[in-house]
Amino acid sequence: MENEIRKELGTLQSRRWFLRNCGVGMAGIALNSLFSNNAIGATTQDPLSPRLPHFAPTAKRVIYIFQAGAPSHIDLFDHKPELVKRNGELPPAELLENYRAAFIHPNSALLGTKYDFSHHGKSGIEISNLLPHISKHVDDLCFVRSMQTDAVNHAPAQIILSTGHSEFGRPCLGSWTLYGLGSESEDLPGYVVLNSARGTSGGASNYGCGFLPSVYGGVPFRNKGDPILYLSNPKGYDKAAQRAALDTLKRLNQQTLDDMADPETATRIQAYETAYRLQSSAPELMDLSQESQATLDAYNIKDVKETSFARNCLLGRRLLERDVRFVQLFHEAWDQHSNLDKSLRKNCLDTDQPFAALIQDLKDRDMLKDTLVVWGGEFGRTPMAQGTDDGRDHHNRAFTMMLAGGGIKAGIVHGATDDFGFNVVENPVHVHDLNATLLHILGFDHERLTYRFQGRDFRLTDVHGKVVKDVLA
């Protein structure tokens, strides 16, 4: 019996030595898959350390304006005079071949836009008069009018756009970015999420890390009080006591990390330290009273403490200034199955000026040149009417997204749709192609940015995607 016990102890010790000193624990192997491919040589000791991408990037940070609910491309970005001319008529039969709508009967009457469109800037790009402030910046923007996706309902379409797959459990673009590049911010999370309007249909999966170590997930900031719950110390608990407790926890966690090379232990260490530093950095970050009245007016912020898309745009700029790698703003208010005119006007009133101010602010601070800006929703809207001729259904065959900043060719329109804004007829861009392009701008070959999970190398674009070179500067 004694010999058996000694043998078992020897086996356990050998395993422990092997994992600790040879660094071949399965979790360690998984975490290091990217690093070995990129010859980066990072370890789990600091999973957020800044890292070099595959090649020189044209942008080093991202602000992603996710207009969830699906803005109507026909009413905002993709003018269709023929659709206006044939308003109230039934759509051509050939247009509806093999078409399945989300809710409406496909053979519903056509609905032309009620809004005027005008040409703007040196580029002469045509845009709806509902967006007078964005119109002033068309020469800074790239309009991709040929977007396509696979899903026709909000949650799966949002998750496809975010993660490249309609199922839960995949890492989103922000997590892949942080995984590949690490973080340059010492006092803030590398990936921050801000919400306005309603919560997204896809929920936390839109900013989740999936099977990646949780240190790469997006951190939602609350709009009121502490940006993260329990950030403030309780009464009677001073900084010295907190620091002593954290140091003890760090030593214990570090011992586990040294023994097992577990990525989640590294995440735990990082989370404690980030939270500690946030206690000092977060109040200053969230205090918009430091901004000039001219800046507040430019963003159309009436109350610096009121939750709004405008406030989040300004907070987004402040986060980017503080070296946050990926900032994502979610604003779900665009699902107009009815009350199209009233709701669309309000959405544009809420978002047009703040987004334009963000573009100008980044330019003025010389940040737009190395910041990638993305604006768009999960799909478009039908050219056929829904309800009492004042609504549009979901439409995944064609929609528009805006891009700007480092690596993006400014003042152009890419792709085109037919006379009804129904099908893409020129240069189609699937969401997989979009994600491949965004990763390319950040310096990554989307086919090489992988993570091994359950015996397979996964990537953001799954087995799809090609870089859209025509939108690159």
Domains, the chain: 54-225+291-471 (3.40.720)
Please count the CA atoms within 13 angstroms of the CA of 178 that sit on its side-chain side.
Answer: 30
For residues 285, 287, 293, 295, the Cα torsion angle rounded to the nearest 10 degrees is 20
Please give the pLDDT value at position 9. Answer: 42
Tokens of 189: 């999370």
Nearest to 445 by CA among 56, 42, 126, 23: 56
Contact 137, 424 (CB under 8 A): no
Give dist(CA 393, CA 407) in Å, integer.
34
pLDDT in tens, 369-417: 999 999 999 999 999 999 877 999 999 999 999 999 999 999 999 999 9
Give the list of residues 6+ apart from residue 60 with CB closer than 8 angstroms, or none: 181, 325, 370, 371, 406, 442
Beta strands in 314-390 (DSSP E): 326-332, 371-376, 380-385
Block residue for tokens 């199922």: 167
Contact 155, 199 (CB under 8 A): no
Please give the pLDDT value at position 223. Answer: 73
Count the helix, strand and coil residues of the chain and give each as a percent rounded to the nearest 5: 40, 15, 40
Give dist(CA 261, CA 175) in Å, integer.
21
Measured CA angle at 202 (ends 198, 205), to 5 deg: 120
Which is more confidently placed, 337 or 35?
A: 337
Asked if the model's pLDDT at residue 4 lies above 60, the reply is no
In terms of DSSP H, where are the helices of 231-305? Answer: 239-260, 263-286, 293-299
pLDDT in tens, 100-122: 888 998 889 999 999 999 999 99
Confidence of residue 471 (pLDDT cuts 50, 70, 90): very high
Give dist(CA 383, CA 87) in Å, integer.
9
Burial class (CB in 10 A: 0-12, 13-18, 19+), 236: exposed
Asked if the model's pLDDT at residue 28 lies above 50, the reply is no
pLDDT in tens, 290-324: 899 999 999 999 999 899 999 999 999 999 999 99
The pTM of this model reads 0.85
The bridge status of strand 326-332 relative to strand 191-197 is parallel
